[in-house]
């Protein structure tokens, strides 16, 4: 059966057909488990929302053509997109099993997420259960009197050996509620959804309730923006900006792997983050992100990120996480590509489309390079290790994590930048990471079992025209930051450390993992320093190596950097700092207080630890004070200009002797 979600009318049949086959016809692929079921005999689910105000959802699953004395049903232990065990089975209650005539059958649990039904000869088994759906921020399941958001892996039981069976989902909900999802519905019945198999159901969250729908076309493809949570947004602006992102990223991959796309948005306080799905995404954000211009710009980064995943991880996926195994952790050394390369294209897309000013992009890039270099874990954990251990490290951080782990999003993004530059350099700008991503997407359809680390090395080397394995060996398989000074020369950019001048009071945070952006703030006095920076002696700033937080009114140590003096002195996470040098220290105070001290000074810290007062004398260390900056090279070669223009999809700035702050002035007109 042809499933409408994936159509052949898009550009590249040779790529899309294998994907189509995987998504629609796994039950007929030889070698897949379970008896092939006829397409007209689906597993049926019913979602019943009789009392949504209680946050309960009743689910029933009817499995036809059952054979044997028992049948097992399971609930996923995790949700694709979040590499951590969530165990949603903990909120399942009132499980009951029946045969086709309504006679009750014995049901018992055989592990934390699996139920076994004694069939007693029945060829149809129905299992009903109730889910407490009060888990909004992990984007798994949430029900109240305004809506139901149901992400398949967290609410729908599946039959492990019939995961490729076609499915049908019927929704019983209040009359005025509507259904939004990437799934197709039965013609004429918007409350009956169909999915070619369980993988598609899992990757098509369902939003049912009171929400707004905005629609736009990109090419001839329908895109829907669905907003739950009241917000005073500008629909035309959303359509226009989302379309720019869709077009720019489609151009990289040469075609869309879907026939319709749905952006689900939850707007409200305390929300943030998004999850990619097959032909939809769920994005959560503060209401301000749709109402306030600056917050909105940041929100577009989330849109750009999640949408890029439509290809990178949803259609092009590493071996080890395709097909998903819902019963346990799924391992890959390539999350740095899934998340890091996606993060690289998140901002690059915004810069290419003009949704982020070029100077803001380059400024953010320089800042993140500085953070990567300053982050102690960068010297300890490789990107492959960070990817593989995501389940026990990245998603389960402890106060020491900053010293021993890297973030495969941020560091993966910069390794992707380094790789992009390496490919451009090696190929004389004949190829780029864009080409590698497109080629990978073409060559590794989901039906092929995913790509390996070696596949990526091979495609990169092939397109780059030289063996790029040394790059991967050095910066992906080993813990290290790429040589960005040299890499960025390829596109005519100069990376340098700009020392802070003596009486400059623009203070940088000592806090390592503070990733707060300060978009839009331009330092007016940067211009004069560009000429003389080579002679400026870097000012050293005094450091303790502590990250503080305020907890129940107490100034508390959140983490201790292993490369700072506080670590060796024995300050530990969760210590309460009462005073520094005899005066109360508050969380926000630390940097200001350190500013007045010099490296080599000794400070006295009064600390409460397990209700005991402890006193520590610590000699402050020092590190160069200043910030990383990207400038255009003064006399770019033709090759640098060409590489820059194909990278940023915009002209090299016109003025000859220009730096990034100057360029800002001339470009401010692009922001409407």
* Interaction site with Zn ion (CB under 5 A): 339
**Taking the complex as a whole, how short is the minimal distance between the CB of residue 324 and Zn ion, in angstroms?**
16
- Tell me the β-bridge partners of 72: 116
Nearer to Zn ion, 131 or 433 (CB): 433
From the number of C-beta atoms within 10 Å of its C-beta (0-12, 13-18, 19+), residue 505 rates as exposed
Among 426, 199, 220, 442, smallest CA distance to 324 is for 199
**Taking the complex as a whole, how short is the minimal distance between the CB of residue 220 and Zn ion, in angstroms?**
28
What's the angle, vertex CA 86, arms to CA 84 and CA 88, rounded to 5? 155
**Taking the complex as a whole, how short is the minimal distance between the CB of residue 651 and Zn ion, in angstroms?**
31
Nearer to Zn ion, 164 or 339 (CB): 339
Characterize 104-118 residue by residue with b for buried, 16 or more Cβ atoms within 10 angstroms of its Cβ, and e for exposed.
ebebeeeeebbbbbe
Nearer to Zn ion, 43 or 356 (CB): 356
For 585, residues 6+ apart whose C-beta sits below 8 A from its C-beta are 555, 577, 578, 579, 593
HEC states along 232-263?
CCCHHHHHHHHHHHHHHHHHHHCCCCCCEEEE
Cis peptide before 323 (omega within 30 of 0): yes
**Taking the complex as a whole, how short is the minimal distance between the CB of residue 633 and Zn ion, in angstroms?**
33
* 548 sits in which H/E element: strand 546-551
378 within 8 A of 562, measured Cβ to Cβ: no
Distances (CA, A) of 429 to 224, 414, 434, 455: 37, 19, 11, 21
**Taking the complex as a whole, how short is the minimal distance between the CB of residue 338 and Zn ion, in angstroms?**
7
**Taking the complex as a whole, how short is the minimal distance between the CB of residue 305 and Zn ion, in angstroms?**
6
**Taking the complex as a whole, how short is the minimal distance between the CB of residue 308 and Zn ion, in angstroms?**
8
d(CA 98, CA 106): 8
Longest dimension (CA), the chain: 87
Nearer to Zn ion, 339 or 360 (CB): 339
**Taking the complex as a whole, how short is the minimal distance between the CB of residue 204 and Zn ion, in angstroms?**
17
Distances (CA, A) of 168 to 45, 93, 102, 147, 163: 6, 23, 20, 21, 13
135 within 8 A of 142, measured Cβ to Cβ: yes
**Radius of gyration of the chain from its Cα atoms, rounded to whole angstroms:** 27
d(CA 628, CA 498): 6
From the number of C-beta atoms within 10 Å of its C-beta (0-12, 13-18, 19+), residue 2 rates as exposed
Nearer to Zn ion, 339 or 625 (CB): 339
Nearer to Zn ion, 339 or 661 (CB): 339
Nearer to Zn ion, 98 or 345 (CB): 345
Nearer to Zn ion, 113 or 386 (CB): 386
Nearer to Zn ion, 131 or 262 (CB): 262
Half-sphere exposure of 553 (CA within 13 A, CB side): 0
Helix (H, G, I), strand (E, B) or coil at 574: coil
Strands of 56-63's sheet, edge to edge?
A: 104-105, 92-99, 125-132, 56-63, 43-48, 167-172, 189-195, 184-186
d(CA 423, CA 436): 9
**Taking the complex as a whole, how short is the minimal distance between the CB of residue 317 and Zn ion, in angstroms?**
13
**Taking the complex as a whole, how short is the minimal distance between the CB of residue 314 and Zn ion, in angstroms?**
10
Nearer to Zn ion, 57 or 278 (CB): 278
Nearer to Zn ion, 274 or 323 (CB): 274
Nearer to Zn ion, 249 or 461 (CB): 249
Count CB neighbours of 637 within 10 A.
Answer: 11
The DSSP string of 323-362 is: S--TTS----S-HIIIIIIHHHHHHHHHHHTTSS-HHHHH
**Taking the complex as a whole, how short is the minimal distance between the CB of residue 388 and Zn ion, in angstroms?**
17
Count CB neighbours of 284 within 10 A.
Answer: 24
Nearer to Zn ion, 157 or 336 (CB): 336
**Taking the complex as a whole, how short is the minimal distance between the CB of residue 88 and Zn ion, in angstroms?**
20
Among 185, 158, 182, smallest CA distance to 171 is for 185
* DSSP code at position 398: -
**Taking the complex as a whole, how short is the minimal distance between the CB of residue 309 and Zn ion, in angstroms?**
6
Residue nearest to Zn ion (CB): 339
**Taking the complex as a whole, how short is the minimal distance between the CB of residue 449 and Zn ion, in angstroms?**
22
């Amino acid at each position: 059966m042809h499933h409408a979600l994936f159509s052949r009318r898009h550009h590249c049949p040779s790529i899309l057909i294998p994907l189509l086959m995987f998504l629609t016809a796994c039950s007929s692929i030889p070698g897949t488990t379970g008896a092939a079921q006829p397409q007209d005999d689906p597993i049926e689910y019913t979602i019943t929302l009789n009392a949504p105000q209680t946050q309960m959802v009743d689910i029933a699953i009817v499995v036809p053509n059952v054979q044997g004395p028992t049948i097992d049903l399971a609930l996923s232990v995790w949700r694709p997109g979040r590499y951590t065990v969530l165990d949603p089975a903990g909120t399942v209650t009132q499980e009951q099993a029946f045969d086709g005539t309504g006679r009750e059958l014995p049901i018992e649990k055989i592990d934390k997420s699996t139920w076994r039904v004694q069939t007693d000869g029945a060829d149809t088994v129905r299992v009903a259960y109730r889910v407490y759906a009060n888990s909004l921020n992990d984007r798994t399941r949430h029900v109240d009197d305004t809506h139901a958001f149901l992400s398949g892996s967290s609410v729908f039981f599946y039959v492990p050996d019939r995961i490729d069976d076609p499915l049908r989902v019927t929704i019983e909900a209040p009359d005025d509620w509507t259904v939004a999802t990437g799934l197709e519905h039965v013609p004429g019945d918007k409350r009956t959804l169909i999915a070619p198999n369980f993988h598609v159901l899992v990757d098509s969250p369902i939003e049912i309730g009171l929400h707004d729908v905005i629609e736009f076309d990109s090419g001839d493809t329908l895109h829907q923006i669905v907003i739950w949570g009241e917000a005073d947004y500008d629909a035309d602006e959303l359509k226009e900006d989302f379309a720019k992102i869709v077009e720019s990223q489609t151009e990289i991959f040469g075609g869309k792997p879907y026939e319709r796309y749905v952006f689900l948005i939850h707007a409200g306080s305390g929300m943030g983050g998004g999850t990619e799905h097959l032909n939809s995404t769920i994005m959560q954000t503060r209401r301000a992100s749709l109402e306030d211009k600056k917050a909105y710009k940041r929100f577009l980064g989330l849109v750009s990120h999640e949408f890029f995943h439509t290809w990178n991880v949803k259609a092009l996926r590493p071996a080890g996480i395709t097909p998903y195994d819902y019963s346990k952790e799924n391992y890959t050394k390539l999350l740095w590509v899934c998340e890091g390369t996606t993060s690289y294209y998140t901002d690059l897309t915004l810069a290419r489309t003009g949704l982020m000013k070029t100077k803001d992009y380059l400024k953010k890039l320089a800042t993140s390079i500085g953070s990567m270099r300053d982050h102690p874990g960068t010297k300890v954990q490789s990107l492959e290790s960070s990817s593989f251990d995501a389940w026990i490290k990245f998603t389960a951080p402890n106060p020491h994590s900053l010293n021993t782990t890297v973030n495969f999003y941020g560091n993966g993004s910069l390794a992707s930048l380094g790789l992009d530059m390496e490919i451009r350099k090696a190929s004389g700008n004949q190829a780029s990471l864009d080409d590698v991503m497109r080629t990978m997407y073409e060559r590794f359809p989901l039906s092929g079992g995913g790509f390996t680390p070696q596949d990526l090395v091979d495609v990169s080397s092939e397109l780059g025209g030289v063996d790029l394995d040394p790059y991967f060996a050095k910066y992906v398989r080993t813990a290290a930051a790429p040589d960005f000074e040299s890499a960025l020369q390829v596109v005519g950019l100069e990376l340098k450390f700009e020392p802070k001048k003596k009486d400059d009071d623009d203070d940088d945070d000592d806090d390592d993992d503070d990733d707060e952006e300060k978009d839009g703030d331009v330092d007016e006095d940067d211009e004069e320093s560009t000429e003389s920076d080579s002679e400026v002696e870097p000012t050293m700033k005094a450091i303790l190596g502590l990250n503080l937080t305020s907890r129940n009114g107490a100034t508390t140590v959140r983490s201790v950097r292993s490369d700072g003096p506080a670590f060796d002195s024995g300050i530990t996470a969760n210590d309460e700092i009462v005073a520094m040098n005899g005066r109360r220290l508050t969380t926000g105070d630390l940097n200001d207080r350190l500013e007045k001290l010099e490296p080599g000074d000794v400070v006295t810290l009064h600390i409460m630890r397990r209700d005991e007062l402890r006193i520590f004398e610590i000699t402050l260390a020092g590190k160069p004070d200043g910030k990383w900056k990207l400038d255009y090279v003064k006399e770019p070669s033709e090759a640098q200009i060409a590489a820059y223009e194909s990278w940023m999809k915009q002209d090299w700035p016109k003025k000859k002797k220009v730096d990034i702050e100057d360029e800002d002035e001339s470009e401010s007109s692009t922001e409407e």
